[in-house]
Structure 1
């Protein structure tokens, strides 16, 4: 705490010295002395007039030429093309939507063999009926 208070005290002293130097500099150049005139040493900003149309010749030189609007048609076209929705699928396969059962791969592999057995079973039943 004491170190922070000492730091603040030192900063205040430096600020007072800087104010005194500024005051002496203003008196030397002949400007009026103000207590809160801190921005004297800053570089003056150049005045640029964008919307105001001055009548004074000096101010007319500082006027910024009007900006021309940029053609955005191509950018808008690109964005519209990128935003186009993907084609909607009209037919929906319910087999793809339904979750698969854990034994679906076994049924797939055995289905061919079952078809052969089914044909043989039908023939055998037909023979028994004939007898």
Structure 2
């Protein structure tokens, strides 16, 4: 399926003609064609923008009078000392004097993060401990009331026997 050099040249000529016809249609104002991809549209639009840019001559001194109008004036280099001075001033902000908080200045203990993480669990355990202590006290009080009632009953029986 080898193509001859003549057929390749013919294809190239046809491709050039199609591209020229597309370009002519676009320049006549027909706008983008329906079958044309967006990528090609963007490329062609950027090419036309590049063509219409104004020519600015910075380092070239033209001989033509029309081009001399487009020549930019020579740029004067800015003073390095001024730039350095501005940067140094920006780097040294004026000190703001505020009230010093000693808590923030004091170093933290090495285990502060452990205490912080365990604090919630300790609160829960503290509540449970308080409930357990209260329950034990109630049980002792009930036990002592029973003993007291037993002692009072026994004392009443002894007093009744002696009369």
- Fold similarity call, TM over 0.5: no
Higher helix residue share: 2
- Relative contact order, higher structure (CA 8 A, sep 6+): 1
Higher CA-based Rg:
2
